[in-house]
Amino acid sequence: MNPNNNATEDTAFLGVGWSFPPTFSRVDNSVMMVFDENDIRQSLLILFETELGSRIMVPAYGCDLSPNVFKNATTTFKSELKDYIHTAIINWETRIDVDDIVIDENSELDGVLMITVYYLVRHTNTRGNLVYPFYLNEGTLPQESI
């Protein structure tokens, strides 16, 4: 392993991957790597940002969130979002078990739903969470500026 990396022998089994976005070191001409729980968090972000069908070799990879940007934030829609996220994690991030997915509606009038995924890392029995901002009505002007 690269001495600049911080993975330990005990936790290396959780995964090692390129940082996201990819970052390069000019000092030793290497790619910055992420490990353990940080690798899982970045993997979840990549999963949520990837549209279904956008990866040619693995078209089923991703989470079907982006086509829903312009939908009304109804209770049914929020349940569908939770289902999309939960299904994507079950299919593509096997290192964790989802405990809960909570959608905070406090920022809904600002055009954003804060989605919190609570999870358990299977191999270490460590709990974690990821807050993902899902922007509604992307590309529209706020009402005050119209």
For residue 31, is it within any domain?
Answer: yes
Write out the residue range of the structural domain in which residue 50 sits. Answer: 12-136
At 69, list the tokens: 């940007």
**Which CATH number belongs to the domain containing residue 44 in this structure?**
3.10.450.40
For residue 83, is it within any domain?
Answer: yes
What is the reported pTM?
A: 0.76
Backbone angles phi, psi at 142, to 5 degrees: -60, 150
Q: 101 pLDDT band (50/70/90 cuts)?
A: very high
In this prediction, residue 143 carries a pLDDT of 53
In this prediction, residue 64 carries a pLDDT of 80
User: What is the greatest pairwise CA distance in the chain?
Assistant: 57
For residue 143, is it within any domain?
Answer: no
Number of domains in the chain: 1
